Amino acid sequence: MTDRAPSWNGWEPAARPPLPAAARRELTRLFGSWPAPTPPVPLADVTLPGSALPDGARREFVAALGEEHVTTDRTERIRHAAGRAYLDLVRLRSGDAGGAPDAVLRPADAEQIADVLRICVGRRVAVVPYGGGTSVVGALAADRGDQRAAVALDLSRLDRLVALDRVAQTATLSAGMRGPEVEAALGGLGFTLGHFPQSYRYATFGGWVATRSAGQASTGYGRIDELVHRVRCVTPTGELDLGRGPASAAGPRLIDLVVGSEGALGVITEATVTVRPVPAARRYEGWSLPGLGAGLEAFRALAQRLGPGLAPDVCRLSDPDETRTTFLLGGTAARLARGYLAVRGHGAGCLAILGWEGEPHLVRYRRRAAARLLESYGGVPLGGTPGASWRHGRFGAPNLRDTLLDHGLLVETLETAADWSALPALYRAVRETLRAELGRVLVMTHVSHLYRTGASLYVTVLGVRDRADPVGQWTRAKRAVTTTIQSYGGTVTHHHAVGVDHRSALADEIGERGVALLRAAKAELDPTGIMNPGTLVP
C-alpha cells in the first residue's frame, strides 16, 4: 500500500530547511530570546490505543475490498490520525495519536464505497473520508460519536481522469487525485484546472470539492465551487448525482449541499469541472504599494474597474509586516530592493504579487491595464524577479513552518473574507486581538482572492509556544479572534472550511434555521450518523 499523506509529524519527510540567520536574529529580537529546540517524539514512541474494529466488520470489509485494502497497521493508523493544523501537529509531535481511526480502508470505486457505507451502518462504524490529509480545521481526527469504531476511508485509489469534453471544456475527475496528478492528466491533453492551493502537492480533488477550496490563482480561475458543474456523492442512503449543463433554474442549487459538505453527508467520488487550455503565456511580477491603505484601494480597483476576465489571475497584497519578512528572507537582491523602495517613500510599503496567464496578446493587454491602475495609486513596478521567486517557492512555505515548530514556536494561520468596506477595520481588529491574547507575536497578513465586493484576509501568526499548555494557549486565542472576525463582518472561513474548529462559530453565522436545515440534510442522507461525526454540523 502506498501512503501519500504528508509526513506524520510535519509536511514533507526530512524537508526542514535551516532558518536563515537574518530571520533568526529578527525573531530573537521580537521574542527576547531564541527558544530551545523541541524535537517531535519519534514515531515508535507515539501512543496509540488498540484498534476497536469489531472482527465481524473487518471480515465484511475484507470481503468487499480485498485483504490488502483493509489495514489496522500502527503506522497507517497514526498517519491518518489528524490533519495539518497547528493543534494537530502539536498533538502528533507530543506523541498523541488519539484521533487515529481503528482501521484504514482503501476502496477502488463508487460501488465499493457504497458497500463500505452499508457495512458501516450495519456494524455501527463511523467513516472519515480521507483525501490528502491536509485539513487545517480538525476535520480528520476520528470522532466515533455514538458508533462503536471509526475507519478512515482513504480515497487514493480513485485516481483517474474519467472524461474530458474538449468542446465544452469540462473534465470529470475522480476524487482521490492529488494536485500534481490532476495537472499531469489534464496537461497531457492540453488543459489545466488552474487550482493551486498552497497544499496542492498533497491535497486531493475530492478534498477541494468537499471543503470549497480556493487556489492561489482563484481570482482569475475561480474557486473550486465556482468551477464545479456536476458532482457524484455516495451517501449512506444512496447516491446523489447533481448538476446539469452550464446553468439551471431547476430549483435551488442542490449541488452546493455536497460542495463543502466535508464528509459529513457522504463521499464525493467524482465531479465535473470547468477546465481551460494550458496558457500559452504567463507573466508574474512584483509591485510595491506605498502602504496598506493605498494597496487595498488599488486592489479594489483591480476587482471593480477591471473585473473578472481582465483583473490579474493572481492578486496578492502583503501588509507591511509580511512585506518586511519577505524582504528579510529574500537575500541580497531583496535588501537592495528594500533600500531603493525606502528612497521612493515606500519604507513601510506593501509588496504585491500579480500574475497573468492566457493568450500572449491578452496577457500583455491585461498587464498594461493593471499597471496603469497600480501606478495611479502610487505603485512601483519591481519586475519579474519577485514574481518568479514567489512562484518558485509557493508550495514550500510549510517546510519552514516545520523548522519553526522544531524551535519551539507557535505557528498558525487563519483566514476570513469580508466586504471592501469592512476590511480595514477587520484587519486592525484581528491584529489587536492576537496581540492581546498572545503577547509578543509576529502577525503577517495578506489579501488574496479578490471579488467585486470584497476580498479574503490570510493571517500568519508566530509567537512563543506555551510549553506547558500549547493547546490551551492557541484554543483561547483562536476563540477570541473568531469572535472578533464575526463581530467585524467577516466570515468564519473563506477557504479552510468548518471542520471541528469552526463548528460552533458556524452556528452564529448561519443562525438556528440554518443549523436546522443542515441537520435535516444530515438526517435524510446519514440517518444513523456514521459520516464524519463531529465535523461541520453544529
Ligand X SMILES: Cc1cc2nc3c(=O)[nH]c(=O)nc-3n(C[C@H](O)[C@H](O)[C@H](O)COP(=O)(O)OP(=O)(O)OC[C@H]3O[C@@H](n4cnc5c(N)ncnc54)[C@H](O)[C@@H]3O)c2cc1C
Using CB under 6 A as the binding rule, whether residue 211 contacts ligand X is answered as yes
- Residue with smaller CB distance to ligand X, 206 or 295: 206
Q: Is 130 annotated as a binding residue?
A: yes
Going from the C-alpha of 215 to that of each of 7, 149, 200, the distances in angstroms are 22, 35, 8
Task: Report the C-alpha gap between 197 and 1 in whole angstroms.
Answer: 26
C-alpha cell at 135: 485539513
Q: How far is the CB of 400 from ligand X (least distance, A)?
A: 11
Using CB under 6 A as the binding rule, whether residue 533 contacts ligand X is answered as no
Residues binding ligand X: number (CB under 6 A): 37
Q: Backbone phi, then psi, for 211, in 5-degree steps?
A: -115, 5
Q: Is 129 annotated as a binding residue?
A: yes
Which region among 18-26, 204-212, 363-371, 477-485 touches ligand X (by CB under 6 A)? 204-212
Q: Is 132 annotated as a binding residue?
A: yes
Measure the CA angle with vertex 266, ends 246 and 126; round to 5°.
Answer: 165
- Residue with smaller CB distance to ligand X, 51 or 199: 199
Q: How far is the CB of 402 from ligand X (least distance, A)?
A: 10
CB-CB neighbours of 115 under 10 Å = 17
- Residue with smaller CB distance to ligand X, 366 or 494: 494
Q: Is 289 annotated as a binding residue?
A: no
User: Contacts from 248-257 at CB under 8 Å and sequence distance 24+?
Assistant: 255/228, 255/229, 255/230, 255/231, 256/225, 257/521
Binders of ligand X among 372-401, rule CB under 6 A? 398
Site string for ligand X, 404-443 (x = CB under 6 A): ----------------------------------------
C-alpha cell at 488: 467585524
The correct pick among 38, 94, 198, 237 for binding ligand X (CB under 6 A) is 198
Q: Is 263 annotated as a binding residue?
A: yes
Binders of ligand X among 108-137, rule CB under 6 A? 128-136
Pairing label, strands 103-105, 125-130: unpaired
Q: Backbone phi, then psi, for 86, in 5-degree steps?
A: -55, -45
Using CB under 6 A as the binding rule, whether residue 236 contacts ligand X is answered as no
Per DSSP, the residues of 299-345 read HHHIIIII-TTTS-SEEEEE-HHHHHHHHHHTHHHHHHHHHHHHHTT
- Residue with smaller CB distance to ligand X, 64 or 113: 113
Pairing label, strands 380-383, 314-318: unpaired
The correct pick among 10, 40, 99, 206 for binding ligand X (CB under 6 A) is 206
Q: Is 134 annotated as a binding residue?
A: yes
The correct pick among 99, 207, 355, 529 for binding ligand X (CB under 6 A) is 207
Q: How far is the CB of 154 from ligand X (least distance, A)?
A: 9
Residue 297: partners with Cβ closer than 8 Å, 6 or more residues away: 377
CB-CB neighbours of 428 under 10 Å = 12
Q: Which residue is nearest to ligand X (CB)?
A: 207
Per DSSP, the residues of 16-43 read -PPPPHHHHHHHHHHHSSPPPP-PPPPG
Measure the CA angle with vertex 283, ends 277 and 285; round to 5°.
Answer: 145
Q: Which of 202, 284, 458, 488 is catalytic?
A: 458
Pairing label, strands 350-358, 380-383: unpaired
Q: How far is the CB of 47 from ligand X (least distance, A)?
A: 23
Which region among 49-57, 239-247, 431-439, 494-502 touches ligand X (by CB under 6 A)? 494-502
Which region among 28-36, 319-327, 493-501, 504-512 touches ligand X (by CB under 6 A)? 493-501
- Residue with smaller CB distance to ligand X, 431 or 496: 496
Q: How far is the CB of 126 from ligand X (least distance, A)?
A: 11
Using CB under 6 A as the binding rule, whether residue 213 contacts ligand X is answered as yes
- Residue with smaller CB distance to ligand X, 86 or 377: 86
The correct pick among 194, 220, 236, 263 for binding ligand X (CB under 6 A) is 263
445 strand-pairing partners: 459
Q: How far is the CB of 58 from ligand X (least distance, A)?
A: 21
The correct pick among 121, 125, 150, 175 for binding ligand X (CB under 6 A) is 175
Task: Report the C-alpha gap between 477 and 290 in whole angstroms.
Answer: 31
The correct pick among 268, 302, 477, 506 for binding ligand X (CB under 6 A) is 268
Q: Say which residue the cell 462559530 belongs to.
A: 505
140: DSSP letter? S
Instruction: Give which of 40, 38, 39, 37 is closest to 8, Cα–Cα.
Output: 40
C-alpha cell at 153: 476511508
The correct pick among 7, 199, 219, 318 for binding ligand X (CB under 6 A) is 199
Q: Are 124 and 147 in contact (CB under 8 A)?
A: yes
The correct pick among 259, 420, 532, 533 for binding ligand X (CB under 6 A) is 532
- Residue with smaller CB distance to ligand X, 102 or 374: 102
Binders of ligand X among 54-113, rule CB under 6 A? 83-84
- Residue with smaller CB distance to ligand X, 387 or 398: 398
Residue 436: partners with Cβ closer than 8 Å, 6 or more residues away: 480
Instruction: Give which of 123, 199, 110 is closest to 157, Cα–Cα.
Output: 110
Task: Report the C-alpha gap between 417 and 451 in whole angstroms.
Answer: 10
Q: What is the largest CA-CA distance in the chain?
A: 74
- Residue with smaller CB distance to ligand X, 121 or 210: 210
Q: 243: left (phi > 0), else alpha (psi -120 to 50), else beta?
A: left
The correct pick among 92, 139, 193, 404 for binding ligand X (CB under 6 A) is 139
377 classed as catalytic: no
C-alpha cell at 21: 540567520
Using CB under 6 A as the binding rule, whether residue 214 contacts ligand X is answered as yes
Residues within the annotated binding site? Answer: 129-135, 262-268, 401
Give the residues lining the site for ligand X (CB under 6 A): 83-84, 128-136, 139-140, 155, 175, 197-199, 203-204, 206-208, 210-211, 213-214, 262-263, 267-268, 398, 495-497, 532, 535
Positions annotated as catalytic residues are 458
Residues within the annotated binding site for substrate? Answer: 401
